[in-house]
Amino acid sequence: MEKDYKISDLSAHLFWDVNRNNLSIEKSSHYIIERVASLGSLEDWLLIRKIYGEDKVKEVILNMRYLDEKSLYFYATIFNISLEKFKCYTLRKVKSIT
């Protein structure tokens, strides 16, 4: 990390249900990335890529259990990855079969 980033650098609405003071940029990285991937603005997205690097962000997003359809297609396009590589997509397909 180049700079000392703080939770307050991200949109406040991302953490509406938790005490932001209990979150750590380093220790809460998966939680923060998932929140930004699901609910964040473009500015939040650009910031987490800067903080964590594209590889870590991609790894977390690929392993998320849920993404809305619009976000799923966005990340598939951004990362140039087929939908089948996303855990949330394969889970959705399994649910639709049963």
User: Does 2 fall in a domain?
Assistant: no
Query: What is the DSSP secondary-structure string of 8-36?
Result: GGS-GGGGTTS-GGG--TTTTHHHHHHHH
What is the number of other CB atoms lying within 10 angstroms of the CB of residue 60?
A: 19
CA distance 19 to 33: 17
User: Does 67 fall in a domain?
Assistant: yes
User: Does 89 fall in a domain?
Assistant: yes
Number of domains in the chain: 1
Beta carbons of 17 and 51 less than 8 angstroms apart = no
pLDDT of residue 98: 46
Structure tokens at 8: 């307050």
User: Does 64 fall in a domain?
Assistant: yes
Divide the 98 residues of the chain into consecutive groups of 10 and give the mean pLDDT of each group.
82 94 94 96 96 97 95 95 94 62
User: Does 1 fall in a domain?
Assistant: no
User: Does 60 fall in a domain?
Assistant: yes
Give the domain range for residue 56.
7-97
Structure tokens at 46: 């650009």
